[in-house]
Amino acid sequence: MTKRIEEFIKTASKEQKSVLFKIHELGEQEQKLVEAYNKKIEPHQKAIRDTNELKDGQYAKIIREDANDLALITTFDEREKLQNIRNEIKKYVMKAVELGMEDVGFIERNYEHYVGETLLQ
């Protein structure tokens, strides 16, 4: 049976609470990085959308490819930071499962997203 975090906190050990807090803290960092990434990539996505509204042809294809390449280059740092944060979250989500927290709804819902495999209980 899935437990809500409020229920779980009442009986959680200090280490379990620490892991939950760290996941929450990293999640906030991830959200800020995603917002910064989206803000930086938006002009490139707009260029691609605007080009898609033009007639399809070789020139439009070149503009789309250039805009996509620029988006990849200009957001390299943000994407690397984001991946590092997600790897940290993955580590703590796995630690939460090691600590017997697999029935906490938050961990259940996020395990597959960050670890990349289904949580078997």
Domain ranges of the chain: 5-115
Q: How far is CA 13 from CA 25, 38, 55, 67, 90, in A?
A: 18, 37, 62, 50, 20
Exposed, middle or buried by CB within 10 Å (0-12, 13-18, 19+), for 57? exposed
Please give the Cα distance from 108 to 81 (Å, whole number).
25
For residue 99, what pLDDT is reported?
Answer: 95
For residue 53, what pLDDT is reported?
Answer: 64
For residue 40, what pLDDT is reported?
Answer: 84
Tell me the per-residue pLDDT of 59-79, one tens digit each, with 9 for 90 and over.
Answer: 677 777 877 788 788 888 888
pTM over cut 0.85: no
Higher pLDDT, 35 or 53: 35
